[in-house]
Amino acid sequence: MEDQVKGQSSGQGIGARVPRKEDARLMRGRGNYVSDIILPNQSEVAFLRSPLAHAVLRGITKPQGLEGSVYVAADLTGVKPMEAPCTVPNYKISVQHPLAHEKVRFVGELVAMAVAPTRAAAEDICERIEVDLDELPALVDAHEARRSATRVHDAWDDNLYLTLNYDNGFDEHARNAPVVVEREINMSRQAMVPLEGKAIVADWDHRADQLVVYTSTQVPHVIRIGLAEMLGIGEGQIRVIAPDVGGGFGYKCVLQPEEVCVAWLALTHKRPFRYVEDRREHLIAGANSRQHNYKLKAYADERGRLLALDAEVTIDGGAYSNWPFTVALEPGQATGNLPGPYDFRGYRCKTYCVATNKPGFLPYRGVARTSVCFAIELMIDAIARKVGREPWDVRNENLVQPQAMPYNNVARKHYDSGDYPKSLLAVRQDIDFETWRARQKQGEADGRRIGIGFATYCEQSAHGTSVFAAWGLPLIPGYDQATVRLLPDGSLEVRVGIHSHGQGMETTLAQIAHEILGVDISRIRVVHGDTGQTPFSTGTYASRSIVMTGGAVAKTCEALVPRLLAIGAHLMQCASNTVSMMPGRVVGPQASVSLKDIAEAWYRRPQLLPPDVDVNGLEATVGYRPQVDTGVFSYASHAAVVAVDPEVGDIEILDYVIAEDCGRMVNPMVVDGQTMGGATQGIGTALFEESPYDANGQPLASTFMDYLLPGPTEVPKFRIRHSETLSPYTAFGIKGMGEGGAIAPPAVLFNAVNDALRGLGVEVAETPLTPRRLLAAIEGARPKEPQP
């Protein structure tokens, strides 16, 4: 604990609002992204993508005279298809060839690749490739695909990746419930839309005898394993570098077929090739997340106390399961997290994950939790309306109480700590609930209707070995390591295997190192994103990096402390039990020596070292994982006030407040930034973003004309309040929080709109809430809610 006081007093340690070190380059446009890398003799790659959602691939004719510039599946010698196994019973493996083989299964699937000096020329070549396709019926709707005789994967006996059945005390607790509320709730398919899409430059380094792949990824070490497997070469022959990455959100936590193709070109031709995904490709082939359907029946008492929940969840899994996380992650997280922060004892959930002719589902910021939060929070409000009580009261009474922590919920999730009701009360006060209720009663002069919405969620973060091992994925996270090295000038190098692409970890990891060693953070370099320079980690996903790698950095710095003390004591000619660490110095009874003096002794004046010096020197690599690895649970409540214009269907967010708790905050400013960014994406899910398809599986939103994102004028000024309930299981009590902001906004905004429209008998439950959807609901409103 003394260390923490030390760090905070310097204004740089854990808890300090330190400006992000990486912003010096990123805010000045000096970041170095894959697309900034231009190598001599580099060719550009363009992909020809399937124009049909489902078809037999009869043949491909390369343009005459350009045969050498075009590659199809048969040309990719030595490349294995991507298959991601998973030990969940009855899970079916999809076989994905990087370039389509025998069949195409979604619009945008890679069919062929063309190589030319410029991207435009490569696209010209693509236009001249003839593809002979025999169209098959497209499976566009997950419910229909479940019943259809058409198969996305011909070897399967149905279109189900997997079905999960969970029952814990359902009958017993549902049996005598006096109140039953039934709803169908839909979250639509969308894309993730990072500022930077996929981007790959691959080259062959003759000196190192290595394939060097620069790629925009969250998980460089995982990509190295994946490429070695798919290309059939040794891992030592591959170096993966992820330079600055313009946002990941889950889109870049899996091996992409484009990475395999471009790496194969460089491996085969021993020269550089580049591919940069454009926005249209992203919106078509990257329409891969969020699409869940819920059929829910909630059983409650007359006060709205939830007794049991019966759920049927259908997830539109798209055409392929990804490597390494698999499409099973989504139904697993949906089933496990649907009960949310609530205390009830009867739960039955049947979850179908269905193959369709759309891009394969990928884990997007929040992974299933945005959808389950949307579902359960709309149900809580529906129960409250049914029993005639304030949704806030019903929500509050159903929450897990702080004295129940740690709490094992009905889905056997272990909630480590937290005070959920406190956060719900905080947002009620911060939004000024009573004032808005009063104004709502008066009505608005402009005819708009005011509504107030709440939602509470908890966010499993940094779940580790035991959780992933239970799913039996091809790659399971274990210990994360950090390498820390004091350099001869007394500055510090911290090498980590995760990647930072917006999370500010070049700063927060430096703060953690500063906390232990007291080196000024301007003299701490955090090195990440290069398999050639960093210890292994499965990378950045599942809100894990600050917990896992942050813990590793702390443990590694701590391992250096006795070595520094021993050298320091020797230099001061005093006993080693009389010295201690102070910021940047070792202090003895009469004098002190700086870390620079100690480093100089080790590296340049070894004649000054004590005879029993630790020969491992001033560099260490230590691994870390939390005592309990089932995840630590951050949580938050959000509240919003909206004004709904029932004539045109406009929704204006008048106020939005957040009370979050992610344990010890390493840097509250970074927590604010992550929360705002996430909540902005959540507003996108709630009101704007959608990747619709026609009956033939053709995507209808392939440019920003049709695919809308929230912009500065659509995003309110979030007011954020923090509390810190420390996790008992992690270093410093830190919890992960990278995804949380994106979880609650759809729930909050729909609850607010439903509150606004209560008098009209309108209830909406399908994202995004476009003006047209809202007006259709108003025009079709039935005054009574359907009886169960």
Chain residues binding other proteins by CB under 8 A are 118-120, 123-124, 127, 278-281, 645, 647-650, 688, 703, 705, 708, 710-711, 713-714, 770-772, 775-776, 779
Decide whether 39 or 121 has the Cβ nearer to other proteins.
121
Decide whether 280 or 525 has the Cβ nearer to other proteins.
280
* Alpha-carbon distance values, 308 to 34, 167, 259, 662 (Å): 50, 11, 46, 28
Decide whether 262 or 484 has the Cβ nearer to other proteins.
262
Beta carbon of residue 554, minimum distance to other proteins (angstroms, whole number)? 44
One-letter amino acid identity for 508?
T
Any residues with CB less than 8 A from the CB of 404 and at least 6 apart, and which? 343
Assess whether the previous peptide bond of 324 is cis (omega < 30° from 0). yes
Beta carbon of residue 513, minimum distance to other proteins (angstroms, whole number)? 42
Beta carbon of residue 642, minimum distance to other proteins (angstroms, whole number)? 15
Would you call 140 helix, strand, or coil by DSSP?
Answer: coil
Beta carbon of residue 291, minimum distance to other proteins (angstroms, whole number)? 21
Beta carbon of residue 448, minimum distance to other proteins (angstroms, whole number)? 12
Decide whether 561 or 708 has the Cβ nearer to other proteins.
708
Beta carbon of residue 712, minimum distance to other proteins (angstroms, whole number)? 8
Beta carbon of residue 768, minimum distance to other proteins (angstroms, whole number)? 10
Helix or strand holding residue 511 (H, E)? helix 505-517
Helix or strand holding residue 456 (H, E)? strand 449-461
Would you call 238 helix, strand, or coil by DSSP?
Answer: strand
Decide whether 35 or 326 has the Cβ nearer to other proteins.
35
426: closest CA among 635, 642, 721?
Answer: 721
Would you call 577 helix, strand, or coil by DSSP?
Answer: helix
Decide whether 580 or 770 has the Cβ nearer to other proteins.
770
Beta carbon of residue 411, minimum distance to other proteins (angstroms, whole number)? 37
Cα–Cα dist 718/720, whole Å = 6
Decide whether 280 or 722 has the Cβ nearer to other proteins.
280
Decide whether 134 or 650 has the Cβ nearer to other proteins.
650
Cα–Cα dist 678/742, whole Å = 4
Q: Counting every residue, how long is the chain?
A: 788
One-letter amino acid identity for 82?
M
Beta carbon of residue 785, minimum distance to other proteins (angstroms, whole number)? 23
Beta carbon of residue 780, minimum distance to other proteins (angstroms, whole number)? 10
Give the distance from CA 593 to its chain's centroid.
Answer: 44
Decide whether 429 or 703 has the Cβ nearer to other proteins.
703
Question: Do the beta carbons of residue 339 and residue 409 sit within 8 Å?
Answer: yes
Decide whether 447 or 611 has the Cβ nearer to other proteins.
447
Decide whether 155 or 445 has the Cβ nearer to other proteins.
445
* Alpha-carbon distance values, 139 to 49, 99, 146, 281, 326 (Å): 18, 21, 9, 21, 20
Would you call 174 helix, strand, or coil by DSSP?
Answer: helix
Angle formed by the axes of helices 369-387 and 745-756, to 10°? 30
Angle among Cα 305, 308, 312 to the nearest 5 degrees reads 130
Question: Do the beta carbons of residue 571 and residue 597 sit within 8 Å?
Answer: yes
Would you call 275 helix, strand, or coil by DSSP?
Answer: strand
Would you call 776 helix, strand, or coil by DSSP?
Answer: helix
Beta carbon of residue 714, minimum distance to other proteins (angstroms, whole number)? 5
Cα–Cα dist 161/321, whole Å = 8
Residue identified by tokens 């740690």 is: 406
Cα–Cα dist 428/341, whole Å = 17
* Alpha-carbon distance values, 208 to 203, 229, 330, 578 (Å): 12, 20, 40, 48
Beta carbon of residue 650, minimum distance to other proteins (angstroms, whole number)? 7
Decide whether 131 or 519 has the Cβ nearer to other proteins.
131
Beta carbon of residue 36, minimum distance to other proteins (angstroms, whole number)? 18
Q: How much of the chain is helix, strand and coil, in % rounded to 5? A: 30, 25, 45
Question: Do the beta carbons of residue 417 and residue 728 sit within 8 Å?
Answer: yes
Cα–Cα dist 749/783, whole Å = 21
Decide whether 425 or 709 has the Cβ nearer to other proteins.
709
